[in-house]
Amino acid sequence: MSALSIYFAEKREFTKASIFIAFATATRLIGIILVFYLFLKIFEKGVNQLSKSWWTLFVAPLGVGLIGLYFQITRNNFLIIYSEHTNWGRSLSISSFEHLIFESKDLILQIFGPVKPVSINLIHFGTIFFFIFLAAISFKKIRKALWIYCLLTIIIPLTSGTYAGLPRYLLASFPLFIPFGKYLENHKSIMYVYIFLAIFIQAVFLIRFFNFEVAT
């Protein structure tokens, strides 16, 4: 849904983009970032375009409203999607961000301490730095609205208080991988290191999967 939403928004087919964004917002709360991205894309063309396409900004978030209404009827909880996140220890707050800092500090101390951190935690934590690298090389390579969207797909999950599960949010930032591919093409040695690490990390995930280990 994210890919189709971005595809049509980049082609300035805002009606189609808003429909796919509505589906995206119905599946995950993070999809609401696409609504902001759509606003930026429309605003890029100026006030005249905004006056023509303003109504798509009301269509785009319909998904989260409709799914909330469904859960209100069936579960008597309009905000069940958000409340489920809080049950997992995730919430958007200052205290959650402070928890993220302490969690990161503990992991860094473990790296240099006698008891090493679990490999999956290292992968999740390393995703932050990989994202920073991707964002840096993509800053002037993709349009600003798209870059801001990618930035928010990582920053907002981080403010929930943990970096666990961050790799799956990085997938939503797939536009960053387009200039990254060009970068690897021009830096062969880094490309080989990246391929090796990608295979190694995938192997770790597969081993954990077949051992019925949780992802966090």
Per-residue pLDDT of the chain (216 residues; tens, 9 = 90+): 889 999 999 999 999 999 999 999 888 777 889 999 999 999 988 878 888 888 999 999 998 888 888 878 887 877 766 666 555 556 666 677 777 888 888 888 888 888 778 878 888 888 999 999 999 999 989 999 999 999 999 988 888 777 777 888 888 899 999 999 999 999 999 999 999 999 988 888 888 788 877 554
DSSP letters along 110-129, please? HHHSSSPPPHHHHHHHHHHH
Q: CA-CA-CA-CA torsion for 61, 64, 65, 67, nearest 10 degrees?
A: 150
Run of H or E including 160: none
Name every residue whose Cβ is closer than 8 Å to that of residue 10 and which is 6 or more positions away in sequence.
41, 143, 146
Q: CA-CA-CA-CA torsion for 67, 73, 74, 79, nearest 10 degrees?
A: 50
How far apart CA 14 and CA 52 sit, in angstroms, is 10
How far apart CA 67 and CA 63 sit, in angstroms, is 6
Domain ranges of the chain: 1-87, 90-216
The token pair that represents 73 in the structure block:
């009827």
- Using alpha carbons, select from 71, 215, 171, 95 the residue that is nearest to residue 86: 95
Kindly report the pTM of this predicted structure.
0.82
